[in-house]
Amino acid sequence: MGHVEAAPVVTNEEKDVSESLLGDKKVTVVFVLGGPGSGKGTQCANIVQNFGFTHLSAGDLLRAEIKSGSENGTMIQNMIKEGKIVPSEVTIKLLQRAMLESGNDKFLIDGFPRNEENRAAFENVTKITPEFVLFFDCSEEEMEKRLLNRNQGRDDDNIETIRKRFKVFVESSLPVVEYYESKGKVKKIDAAKPIPEVFEDVKAIFSSYGAKQAM
């Protein structure tokens, strides 16, 4: 049953993937949430280097799918342009594929779940509950300043789209943070501090959860 085949029906494929992931080892997932520009990507890179996690950015996986030129990619591109949230099953399928291909059993999932429906779908499909949620708390003013200063060649870094993304984050993603907070699973980080100080706080959280620091 744990064998992964290219099944014609998505649900079968997802079932196989989740069984493969859960088959013989415990999979540790940490959701990393924070508004656009809160510094999640920078800190995820530090966690990977220091604690051996595999970093999966939902946004990067979606952008890679867009670049592939698939029909799926075109649909994703149109939704992102309109500031809409991509359907859960699309993102979950990309995440599952990346988790299997990585060969690791510790994952930082960055920028997902984007809303309550994402969260419920992820837990239902993968049967994985996150170890905890790392929430980068940062003011809208600070995030806006950072996004306008960075130049990553992303066409979604203009002021109108940035504000649209903030609105989506507050309306959709904050309820996810609140849900996990009610379960005692949120670790909040003051993301307005300088990068090295933020990482000291991050390190303390991962060490307290028994994550071993890579030498």
- Token look-up 């706080």 returns 201
Per-residue model confidence (pLDDT) at position 128: 92
42 is in an annotated binding site: yes
Taking 60 as the threshold, does the pLDDT of residue 17 lie above it?
Answer: no
Q: Give the phi and the psi of residue 210 in degrees, each rounded to 5.
A: 85, 10
Q: Is 40 annotated to bind ligand?
A: yes
CA distance 57 to 108: 8
User: Average of pLDDT values for 126-144?
Assistant: 83
Is 195 assigned a ligand-binding role in the annotation? no
Give a yes or no: residue 211 inside a domain.
Answer: no
Which 8-state DSSP code applies to residue 31? E
Q: Is 119 labelled a binding residue?
A: no
Prior bond of 113 cis (ω within 30°): yes
150 is in an annotated binding site: yes
pLDDT for the residue numbered 212: 67
**Tally of domains within the chain:** 1
**Residue 169 falls within a domain, yes or no?**
yes
Amino acid 4 reads V
Q: Is 39 annotated as a binding residue?
A: yes
Q: Please report the pLDDT score of residue 181 as a whole number.
A: 92
Say if residue 129's pLDDT is above 80.
Answer: yes
Is there a domain that residue 20 lies in? yes
CATH number assigned to the domain comprising residue 52 = 3.40.50.300
* Residues 93 and 21: beta-carbon distance below 8 Å: no
Q: Residue 195: inside a domain, yes or no?
A: yes
DSSP symbols for 186-202 = EEEEETTS-HHHHHHHH
CA angle, 9 then 14 then 6, to 5°: 55
What pLDDT shows up at residue 10? 42
Tell me: is residue 85 an annotated ligand-binding position.
Answer: yes
Half-sphere exposure of 116 (CA within 13 A, CB side): 7
- Residue 111 labelled as part of a binding site: yes
Would you say 113 is a known binding-site residue?
yes
Q: Is 53 annotated as a binding residue?
A: no
Q: Which domain holds residue 103?
A: 10-203
> What 3-state class would DSSP assign to 9?
coil
Which residue type occupies 138? Answer: C
Residue 212 lies in a domain: no
The strands making up 186-190's β-sheet, listed across from edge to edge, are 54-57, 106-110, 28-34, 132-137, 186-190
Could you read off the pLDDT of 108-126 as tens digits, one per residue? 998 889 888 999 999 999 9
55: DSSP letter: E
Q: What is the phi-psi region of residue 136: left when phi exceeds 0, alpha when psi lies from -120 to 50, beta otherwise?
A: beta
> Is 50 labelled a binding residue?
no
Q: What is the pTM of this model?
A: 0.76
Q: Pick the range with the lowest mean pLDDT from 83-87, 125-129, 154-158.
A: 154-158
> Does any domain span residue 213?
no
The answer to whether residue 2 sits within a structural domain is no
Is 97 annotated for ligand binding?
Answer: no
Report whether 159 belongs to an annotated binding site: no
